[in-house]
Amino acid sequence: MKSDSTVLPDVFRICFEHYNKAKNLPTGKIKNPNEILREFDFEIKKNPADAAELFKDMQLYLKLTPNTLTPNFQNQLFSGLNQYALAGDWLTSVTNTTMATFEVSPMGTLVEKKLIEHMNRLVGWENGDGTMATGGSNANMISLLVARNKMFPEIKKEGQLNKRLIIFVSEDAHYSFEKAANILGIGLDQVKKIKTNPNGEMEPSHLEEMARVSLSVGECPFFVAATAGTTVLGSFDPIDRIHEISKKFNLWLHVDGAWGGSVLLSSRHRHHLKGIENVDSMTWDTHKMIGTGLMSSFFLTKHNGILRSSHNHGGEDYIFHESEIAEWDSGPSSLQCGRRSDALKVWLTWRSLGDIGIEIQIDNLFAMAIKAKEMILEYKELELMYEPSSLNICFRYRSVSDVNTLNKKIRHRLLEEGIFFINIATRKKETFFRLIIVHPDLNETHLYKLFSDIIRLGNKIKEETEFCMLKT
Ligand SMILES: Cc1ncc(COP(=O)(O)O)c(C=O)c1O
């Protein structure tokens, strides 16, 4: 019989076993909510559950969660988990403290500060500022808030009075800017979409035109976000040219590098972010390309002290005491009061790999992406949808009829089989697979099996459809 005192070593053991095995296991069959509700007892009871019962719950939780640690997980912009990231996460949990003040989180505060300094230097900012956020979406929202409070300082106190604030993002930008515009009271209608070229990169000439029109009708355009690594195509907006326009129209220039920010570490591929040192701020998720574990999201800015002046308000009566170390408190710069010390897992991973290790990892991913593209071109059944800019490989199973539905069906069958977990996207009315090359151990064997499975299922569904049509 399991007792409360043995539960932690046992949990540690099953987590460790899961971590070691998962890499070589399939992703697991997807289940619908009702199936899971039948398999797992979610009810909180009046009486306490005993250790044995809770341990079973934990084992089942591991079993019923899709395996994202395998190279076969290609569904999102992350896959796999560096062992030092896991170690850092465990240490963060076991120390259970908050980043609000230096006195309760001296180590967490300094680890985050030093990491942000290092990241800022990679961008080209010697005296920047930054904070970790609860996700890339949240970091994008921080960029809007900071920019708004800098450009219109009265809004912080008075609210958004009679001003039509306008922000520009490309039509391929992440949806988080619309969410942020909603949260900040800017409004969805004030998010103006800039056209992208056939590669999914923002058209600077359209930005210029939109900014001019906006000013001419009395609006207050104040912000533009370029994307470094778009969510679907993995494209990079031309930062240099967007910067010229942002200067001309006095726009805050933010780079959403949630996906592609890590490319800064690669001397071979860094050119994708040319001009980044000139922008005002940047989002960077290291849990994506570097594998530091969710969530590892950073908001970085070249404007030192701007986070504190934008976000600081209240708490002096009970938490932010006057003292010689008060300036080290990160709470006043944050949107949160209690905040997890997420930096440790990133810092440990980065220390373990060094800048050089990360550069090698990223260069290998780019090389694997080229292999994936070449393999697709060799299959007559598959069609490459876009020339890859980075690690997103967009392709579909060919069909003369109902191609969108067919590809959606193939994905569904793949997920039911439970070997691969890969996403599908629809852009300009065309549906296709979006393969993400991000797991450091992903190799040609995984890709060969993925493409073969897609072709096998595509052929099978086509046959089934033809058979049904013959019968009717
Ligand atoms: C370009 C881009 N920005 C922002 C985000 C949001 O990041 P997060 O999932 O960390 O909130 C994503 C997510 O995939 C993204 O692709």
- The atom number, within ligand 1, closest to the CA of 294 reads 10
Distance CA 119, CA 262 (A): 10
Q: Are strands 252-257 and 191-194 parallel, antiparallel or unpaired?
A: unpaired
Dist. CA 276 → ligand 1 center (Å)? 18
Residue 289 CA to ligand 1 center (angstroms) comes to 12
| Amino acid symbol at 435 | L
Buried b (16+ CB within 10 A) or exposed e, 180-202: bbeebebeeebbbbbebeeebbb
- CA 225 to centroid of ligand 1, rounded, Å: 13
Pairing status of strand 382-384 against strand 392-397: antiparallel
- Tell me, in angstroms, the distance from the centre of ligand 1 to residue 461's CA: 33
Tokens of 104: 């309760």
CA distance 335 to 338: 9
Ligand 1 pocket: which of 76, 174, 178, 273 to mutate (most atoms <8 Å of CB)? Answer: 174
Write the CA distances from 11 to 15, 61, 66, 281, integer angstroms.
Answer: 6, 12, 19, 41
DSSP state of 151: H
Non-local CB neighbours of 392 within 8 Å, separated by 6+ positions:
230, 232, 233, 234, 434, 435, 436, 437
For residue 348, the surrounding DSSP H or E stretch is helix 343-378
Half-sphere exposure of 205 (CA within 13 A, CB side): 1
Give 361-364's long-range contacts (Cβ < 8 A, gap of 24+).
361/290, 361/291, 361/440, 362/262, 362/263, 362/265, 362/266, 362/269, 362/289, 363/266, 363/268, 363/269, 364/440
Handedness of CA 383, 385, 387, 388 (dihedral sign): negative
pLDDT at 379: 98
pLDDT of residue 2: 66
Smallest CA separation from ligand 1 atom 7, residue: 136
The pLDDT, as a whole number, for residue 470 is 72
Q: Where would I find the beta strands (DSSP E) of 114-217? A: 129-133, 165-170, 191-194
Edge-to-edge strand ranges of the sheet holding 421-427: 73-74, 421-427, 430-436, 392-397, 382-384
CA 134 to ligand 1 centroid distance, Å: 11
What's the fold here for domain 87-350? Aspartate Aminotransferase; domain 2 (3.40.640)
From 176, 273, 283, the mutation candidate for ligand 1 (largest count of ligand atoms within 8 A of CB) is 176
Closest ligand 1 atom to residue 137 Cα is 11
| Distance between Cα 137 and ligand 1 center (Å) | 6
Weakly modelled stretches of the chain, pLDDT under 50: none
* Gap from CA of 51 to ligand 1 centroid (Å): 38
Query: What b/e readout covers 111-121, taking b as 16+ CB neighbours within 10 angstroms?
Result: bbbebbeebbe
Distance 154 CA to ligand 1 centre (A): 30
Which of 132, 169, 259, 284 gets mutated to test ligand 1 (max ligand atoms within 8 A of its CB)? 259
Sheet of 220-227, strand order: 129-133, 297-301, 281-285, 252-257, 220-227, 165-170, 191-194
| Shortest-distance atom of ligand 1 to CA 295 | 10
What residues does ligand 1 touch, defined as CB less than 6 Å away?
Answer: 77, 135-137, 140, 174, 176, 227, 229-231, 256, 258-259, 285, 297
Residue 397 backbone zone (phi > 0: left; psi -120 to 50: alpha; other: beta) = beta
Q: Which atom of ligand 1 is nearest to the CA of 230?
A: 1
- Rounded Cα distance between 353 and 207, Å, is 39
Three-state DSSP class for residue 187: coil
Could you check whether the bond before residue 295 is cis, i.e. omega within 30 degrees of 0?
yes
Integer Cα distance of 272 and 263 in angstroms: 8
Nearest by Cα to 362 from 249, 468, 462, 273: 273
Q: What H or E segment, with its residue span, contains residue 10?
A: helix 4-22
Pocket test for ligand 1, best of 262, 285, 290, 335 (most atoms within 8 A of CB): 285
By most ligand atoms within 8 Å of CB, the mutation choice from 77, 172, 346 for ligand 1 is 77
In the reported structure, the alpha carbon of residue 41 is separated from the centroid of ligand 1 by a whole-number distance in angstroms of: 33
Strands (DSSP E) contained in 357-429 are 382-384, 392-397, 421-427
Neighbours of 409 (CB within 10 A): 19
CA nearest ligand 1 atom 16, residue: 231
Q: Say if residue 157 is exposed, middle or buried (CB neighbours under 10 Å; 0-12, 13-18, 19+).
A: exposed
Q: Which numbered atom of ligand 1 lies nearest the CA of 140?
A: 4
CA pair distance 190, 221, nearest whole angstrom: 9
Specify whether the CB–CB gap between 173 and 257 falls below 8 A: no
Q: List the structure tokens of 250.
A: 């006095």
Residue 372 identity (one-letter amino acid): A
